[in-house]
Amino acid sequence: MILTKAQYDEIAQCLVSVPPTRQSLRKLKQRFPSQSQATLLSIFSQEYQKHIKRTHAKHHTSEAIESYYQRYLNGVVKNGAAPVLLDLANEVDYAPSLMARLILERFLQEHEETPPSKSVINSMLRDPSQIPDGVLANQVYQCIVNDCCYGPLVDCIKHAIGHEHEVLLRDMLLEKNLSFLDEDQLRAKGYDKTPDFILQVPVAVEGHIIHWIESKASFGDECSHHAYLHDQFWSYWNRCHPLAQRS
Q: Which among 38-42, 52-56, 74-78, 180-184 has the top mean pLDDT?
A: 74-78
Taking residues 232-240, report their average pLDDT.
66
190: left (phi over 0), alpha (psi -120 to 50) or beta: left
The answer to whether residue 244 scores a pLDDT higher than 60 is: no
Q: List C-alpha distances in Å: 155 to 96, 160, 162.
A: 14, 9, 11
pLDDT at 77: 96
* CA gap 81, 75 in Å, rounded: 10
pLDDT at 243: 44
Q: What is the pLDDT of residues 106-158, one digit of tens each?
A: 999 999 878 889 999 999 999 999 999 999 999 999 999 999 889 999 999 88
Binning pLDDT at 50, 70 and 90, where does residue 101 land? very high
pLDDT at 246: 43
pLDDT at 113: 79
Supply the mean pLDDT for the chain.
86
If one counts every other C-beta atom within 10 angstroms of the C-beta of residue 103, the result is 23
Taking residues 51-66, report their average pLDDT.
94
Taking residues 67-73, report their average pLDDT.
97
* CA gap 82, 75 in Å, rounded: 8
Question: What are the sequence ranges of the domains in the chain?
Answer: 7-56, 60-150, 154-239
Q: What is the pLDDT of residues 167-219, one digit of tens each?
A: 999 999 999 999 998 888 888 887 777 788 889 888 888 888 888 888 877 77
* CA gap 9, 27 in Å, rounded: 17
For the entire predicted model, the pTM comes to 0.80
How would you write the chain as a 3-class SS string?
A: CCCCHHHHHHHHHHCCCCCCCHHHHHHHHHHCCCCCHHHHHHHHHHHHHHHHHHHHHHHCCHHHHHHHHHHHHHHHHHCCCCCHHHHHHHHHCCCHHHHHHHHHHHHHHHHCCCCCCHHHHHHHHHCHHHCCCHHHHHHHHHHHHCCCCCCHHHHHHHHHHHHHHHHHHHHHHHHCCCCEEEHHHHHHCCCCCCCCEEEEEEEEECCEEEEEEECCCCCCCHHHHHHHHHHHHHHHHHHCCCCCEEC
Q: What is the pLDDT of residues 13-45, one digit of tens each?
A: 888 777 666 677 788 888 888 888 888 888 888
